[in-house]
Amino acid sequence: MNMTCNFAKDLAELYHENLVSPETADAIRSHLKTCTDCRKYYREFRALQGQKSVDVIPERLKNPGFSDLSETEKRLCETLSRRLRRRRFWGMVGTSAVVGAGSVMLAVGLLLTYKGRTSL
């Protein structure tokens, strides 16, 4: 499989999380062996993935509007921002689901307890 740099960079996140097919992973690995730009991009991507908080991102990467950022850094910032928004969204959905399920269980428990007392 012949892979372009743009394609390899687009698949970096999926490759990093082992979410690509074995054939695609082999193609990405072989591309990274031959392409120094993509290898550098992937190393920087992995470094950003290892960081736990937005606060540990270097100051010059916090505002992707600055013109001194390279294309790789801009793409990494956009990817990180997108992933953080996605995590926050699903965190809120999960919390809402747990609170909703707890409320339903509480209401059902109260109804059953109430019905049990009135029937005596």
pLDDT of residue 10: 80
- Angstrom distances, CA of residue 77 to CA of 27, 67, 110, 117, 118: 25, 13, 49, 60, 61
Ranges of each domain in the chain: 5-118
Distance between CA 76 and CA 104 in Å, rounded? Answer: 42
**Tens-place pLDDT, residues 25-72:** 888 888 888 888 888 888 888 877 765 444 444 555 555 455 555 677
